[in-house]
């Protein structure tokens, strides 16, 4: 795992996050493999072998979201999951979005 990704994954979300600049978003996005920036949010599609794996992953993402009090938009089907993070209260991206995305990525690092 990249050191920046490891660092982000070890951070905790802030209760009053501040919107980050586009250059900072771009730099943080580079640490997240496969995540894309679209409409003031970051998102990634994940593919699994079956519905059981999808549900295990979705439940793990939900656990992270509850612990961090920062909740993504999640859609899923039989073998795919789409995760989308943005900070609605700031009107864009905050470090919290990247922290949670890094924590989601860490679920897949075995």
In tens, the pLDDT along 29-77 reads 999 999 999 999 999 999 999 999 999 999 999 999 999 999 999 999 9
Predicted confidence (pLDDT) per residue in 50-60, tens digit: 999 999 999 99
- State how many domains the chain has: 1
State which residues form the domain around 46: 3-12+20-107
pTM, 2 dp: 0.92
What CATH number did the domain enclosing 58 receive? 3.30.1360.20
Alpha-carbon gap, residue 4 to 32, rounded angstroms: 9
């Amino acid at each position: 795992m990249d050191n920046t990704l490891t660092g982000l994954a070890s951070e905790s979300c802030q209760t009053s996050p501040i919107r980050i600049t586009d250059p900072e978003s771009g730099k943080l996005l580079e640490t997240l493999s496969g995540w894309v920036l679209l409409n003031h949010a970051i998102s990634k599609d994940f593919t699994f072998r079956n519905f059981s794996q999808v549900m295990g992953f979705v439940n793990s993402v939900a656990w992270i979201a509850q612990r961090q009090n920062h909740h993504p938009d999640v859609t899923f089907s039989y073998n795919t999951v789409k995760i989308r993070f943005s900070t609605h209260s700031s009107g864009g991206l905050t470090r919290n979005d990247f922290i949670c995305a890094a924590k989601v990525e860490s679920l897949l690092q075995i």
